[in-house]
Chain A
Amino acid sequence: MEKKEFTILIKDWLESFLKKRYSNTHDILRVIIPNTRLSKLSDSDIKKCKNYSAWDFKPDILGILKNKKNAQIELVFLNRSISALSLKEIGEIYCYSKLAGSRISFLTSLRGVSNEVNILLVNDSMRDRLLKYTVNGQIVIFSWNEEEKKINKNSIIPTDKREFLLQ
């Protein structure tokens, strides 16, 4: 599958996932494929966020939510890759997520994580260090099954997020 095709496919997934999981607590404002860095994006909701002008980065897919309780704008990041995910990709989205304090972040690939990273993430404390960017914020990794056009259940890391993603 080409990168472009995968991006569109995974954007659709994120949109339906956010609607399913967050509609009760949030307004799902939009899910977009940003064409420029967030700091330069002409999006009135992003501009409501504190420090947005320092967000000189561009996630592959961006979800913009509005918390129904306090009207705060919350972001969801998703980076995708067609090759196996390494620490480089994890570190990159970790930076984005920590910088902007995203609600949740996703990292997905057609090949899943590299063998080296797979082993690292088995260890509980190591996994927490690599994926938890704030007390509540966490990166969730998964691979996309091209054939069945859905998430590969066994690829979801951390494993305790499997139900959250699939139900």
Chain B
Amino acid sequence: MKKNNISPLFAYFLGLIIGRGHIFPDSFSIAIEFSHHNEFSYGIAYCPNCGFLATKNKDILFCKKCKKPVSPKVRNVYNQPKSTTKSLVSSIIPFLQEEINAKYEIISSKSMTLLVMDFKNNKKQFELIRRFFGKENSFDRFHIPKKIFSLSKKSKIEFVNGLLDTSGFTSVGGWLNRDGKKGYGRMRAYFQIVRNWTLPVEIDNFLRKEFSLPIHTIDWGHPNIRDGNLRDFFNTRPTSWSREHQVKIFPEYYKIFHFRIEHKQRLFEELIVHNQKADFVNKEDWFPPGPISKKRLKPYHPGENDLRIPSLARRHFDAFWQINLAMGCSFLKKFIEKLKNPEVFSLIGKDENFNLVKLEKVLDAERKKITEEIYLQHKKETKEKKVKIKKAEKRIEKDLYSPIANYLKEALIQKYEENIETFDTSSVNLNAFLKDKSGNLLDLFTYCERFVIKPDVVGFLLDSRKMIFVEVKVTQLDLKSLGQLLGYCLVANPIEAILISSEKPSTSLIKILKAKPGLLSYSKGKRIKIGIWEENKIILLI
């Protein structure tokens, strides 16, 4: 397979990798994730009495028309892990084997099936595949290769099929409240894109350009979109917005594509049949976008400046399509360039001649007003919650991260005499933290890309590019807490690792470590240190 001669099969393979692939250059292998969060997925339920759509309300199915409860037995049930393995064994692997010469292995759990392809005996093909992805090794950083745009129609379709098998999801739960000519409820499928902020727009633009297909919306994992009314923020889930992005589509326009994962294809067909029967006239394409009315303005969200959001989108947005524009949507860019008032349009979706400075002031004042109203509404509730939390826990672990990170920074500067940064990394995996952080840190610590681990505090030695892990507890340290940090150390081999608690270690841990001090070592000459957090400093005990 030459790079400039991509077969439909190879295009499908590239689609799989871009959707959920990991490349492991050290072991000449590629792993492709087929995720299925729940063991079972369910087909569409129709009322046996009137044939109308039945949907869930508090876990019980009710007919949307006659309002009667409907037995869940009327739906098809799909066992996702089983169907995925079956599809891999009977369809996907035999298909790929025609051209991709590797050792294939399936590893499965209830939430994910992994296809691992070992290229140790075919390093040439492995290197050729790698070239399509430049220096990137994981799906959260991949782009659609430019070469895909010049392929035959058949190959482009297979490329999308590959994307669908890994990142495409069919779910009855994504229906929209719409009336068709002959039915109700419009079903949607979606591409689920994890942590990759460029791929949603790339997929949108690819489908639009190459197939003239409509996209309903992009549901961005951005605070203004996912938590636009601050509900989660006030419900002790302040970062719930930090989830995957979803490119939502209406399946009836996507019949040229098909899933090779059997249960996804069957459900996809169910959704198509439903929408076709209901007969919806409007394509409901988000492009070109409509105006943002005063009602649609969003309150300011404290998460807008979160470092997990790439700098291009790290600000306030009132509509999802504004993020599309920020993330480089070429269709929108061209559309806006032709307007008389492009800057005004990008603010309110209207091509009108407003004074831009005044308009921004008006919008800002309006958003502030909405924000204030929401804060007032939740103020009482939040106060009550805070009291409850304080009563429930004397000292929560989270409270220690920041002071420990600050103390560690000073201590490490003294010890290592180089530039040091320390962070509370507890909320996100280390690899994602670095990617979200972007800039210098990511460039210096590219070797951390594989570290899907979550130490509480990490110190970064910026000159020597080394790391120090700290695991924090507020209970007595025991073998379990040691095991957790040991796991992180075995994965990432930091220069130092410290297990700290505000309490003294349990006597059994001390006894164990006296008898077997080697238990603390995780690499040649490196051992976990045990410490106590007392009077705002770390006192090392072992």
Q: Which A residues have a C-beta under 8 Å from some C-beta of B?
A: 37, 51, 53-57, 84, 87-96, 98-99, 109-126, 129-130, 143, 152, 154-155, 157, 159
Residue from the list A88, A122, A129 in contact with B29, Cβ < 8 A: A122
User: Does A95 lie within 8 Å of B110, measured CB to CB?
Assistant: no
User: Does A56 lie within 8 Å of B483, measured CB to CB?
Assistant: no
User: Does B33 lie within 8 Å of A92, measured CB to CB?
Assistant: no
Binds A, one of B45-53, B180-188, B513-521: B513-521
* Nearest A residue to B489, CB-CB: A91
CA distance A41 to B114 in the complex (A): 41
Interface string of B130-149 (1 = CB under 8 A from A): 00000000000000000000
User: Does A99 lie within 8 Å of B516, measured CB to CB?
Assistant: yes
Known: A54-B515, A88-B484, A92-B479. A115 touches B33 (CB 8 A): yes
CA distance A77 to B518 in the complex (A): 20
For the complex, count residues of B whose C-beta is within 8 A of A: 44
Residue from the list A88, A90, A96, A122 in contact with B114, Cβ < 8 A: A122
In the complex, B24 has a CB within 8 A of chain A: yes
* Nearest B residue to A100, CB-CB: B516
CA distance A51 to B519 in the complex (A): 14
CA distance A89 to B480 in the complex (A): 8
In the complex, B35 has a CB within 8 A of chain A: yes
Give the residues in chain B near A130, CB-CB below 8 Å: 487, 490-491
Binds A, one of B101-109, B247-255, B377-385: B101-109
* Nearest A residue to B28, CB-CB: A124
In the complex, B126 has a CB within 8 A of chain A: no
User: Does B512 lie within 8 Å of A119, measured CB to CB?
Assistant: no
Which residues of B474-511 have CB atoms within 8 Å of chain A's CB atoms? 479-480, 482-488, 490-491, 508-509, 511
Give the residues in chain A near B329, CB-CB below 8 Å: none
User: Does B112 lie within 8 Å of A94, measured CB to CB?
Assistant: no
Give the residues in chain A near B485, CB-CB below 8 Å: 91
CA distance A87 to B221 in the complex (A): 27
* Nearest A residue to B485, CB-CB: A91
Interface centre among A54, A89, A91, A157 (most CB of B within 10 A): A91
Q: How far is the CB of B196 from chain A (nearest CB, A)?
A: 16
User: Does B108 lie within 8 Å of A57, measured CB to CB?
Assistant: no
CA distance A37 to B488 in the complex (A): 25
User: Does A115 lie within 8 Å of B508, measured CB to CB?
Assistant: no
Give the residues in chain A near B152, CB-CB below 8 Å: none
Residue from the list B113, B483, B514 in contact with A54, Cβ < 8 A: B514
User: Does A125 lie within 8 Å of B27, measured CB to CB?
Assistant: yes
Known: A87-B491, A120-B452, A120-B491. A110 touches B110 (CB 8 A): yes
29 residue pairs from A and B, CB less than 8 Å apart: A37-B508, A51-B516, A54-B516, A57-B479, A57-B508, A57-B512, A87-B487, A88-B480, A91-B483, A91-B487, A93-B483, A94-B483, A95-B479, A96-B479, A98-B518, A110-B110, A111-B111, A114-B111, A115-B33, A115-B35, A118-B109, A118-B112, A120-B491, A123-B29, A129-B491, A130-B487, A130-B490, A143-B110, A157-B107
CA distance A87 to B22 in the complex (A): 19
* Nearest A residue to B30, CB-CB: A122
Give the residues in chain B near A143, CB-CB below 8 Å: 108-110
Give the residues in chain B near A56, CB-CB below 8 Å: 479, 508-509, 511-512
